[in-house]
């Protein structure tokens, strides 16, 4: 009996270790084209060379609206060091609502509207908002957040990634 418990504990520990390894390993950010509010286009490849938070959000999402001032503060804190934010409004969000939100809140970063839903699909079928991805300077996804991130942890990770070459 004690041996079975010990074996189960070892197996559970190994599974936890493997899960941590696989979930923490970086993968390339997916290729996508973002149509910004000004009509210009940006590619995922344009994000290379800076640390970027790609945030999927909607004006109808209470958590998204509540976290936006924190995302603005984060952007302002790190932008001079090579950090950027790309907010991607979901397909179901009316463009006029997005434009109004961006103008009234004076969002200081790029905002795209995912009119076709292709951007959300390319990032792993994003359906829940907010969902954010932190991308390093090499264009690799370092962390995925579903819901509002713990901002202190996010800031520590951004600091660390900005120091990498």
The verdict on residue 12 lying in a domain is no
Residue 2 lies in a domain: no
- Token readout for 59 is 């004006």
Q: Which of 152, 132, 127, 151 minimizes the C-alpha distance to 142?
A: 132
> CA-CA distance, 161 to 138, in Å (whole number)?
10
Of 46, 28, 33, nearest to 117 by C-alpha is 33
pLDDT(95) > 60: yes
Closest C-alpha among 109, 137, 128 to residue 28? 137
Q: If you ran DSSP here, which 8-state letter would residue 148 be given?
A: S
Q: Which domain holds residue 123?
A: 28-163
Residues 6+ apart with CB under 8 A from 90: 56, 57, 58, 114, 117, 120, 126, 129
* pTM tops 0.85: no
Q: What is the CATH number of the domain that holds 69?
A: 3.40.30.10
Residues 6+ apart with CB under 8 A from 157: 134, 142, 143
Both tokens of 10, joined, read 């070892």
Q: Is 14 a domain residue?
A: no
6 falls in which pLDDT band (50, 70, 90)? very low
The tally of domains found in the chain comes to 1
- pLDDT tens figures, 131-149: 999 999 999 999 999 999 9
89 in a structural domain = yes
Does residue 42 belong to any structural domain of this protein? yes
């Amino acid at each position: 009996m004690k041996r079975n418990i010990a074996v189960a504990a070892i197996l559970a520990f190994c599974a936890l270790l493997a899960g941590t390894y696989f979930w923490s390993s970086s993968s390339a950010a997916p290729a996508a084209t973002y149509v910004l509010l000004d009509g210009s286009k940006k590619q995922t490849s344009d994000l290379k060379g800076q640390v970027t938070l790609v945030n999927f959000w909607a004006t109808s999402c209470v958590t998204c609206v509540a976290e936006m001032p924190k995302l603005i503060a984060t952007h302002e804190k790190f932008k001079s060091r090579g950090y950027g934010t790309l907010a991607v409004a979901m397909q179901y969000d009316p463009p006029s609502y997005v434009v109004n939100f961006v103008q009234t809140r004076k969002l200081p970063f790029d905002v795209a509207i995912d009119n076709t839903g292709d951007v959300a699909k390319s990032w792993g079928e994003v359906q829940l908002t907010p969902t954010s991805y932190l991308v390093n300077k090499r264009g690799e996804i370092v962390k995925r957040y579903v819901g509002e991130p713990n901002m202190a942890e996010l800031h520590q990770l951004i600091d660390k990634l900005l120091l990498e070459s």
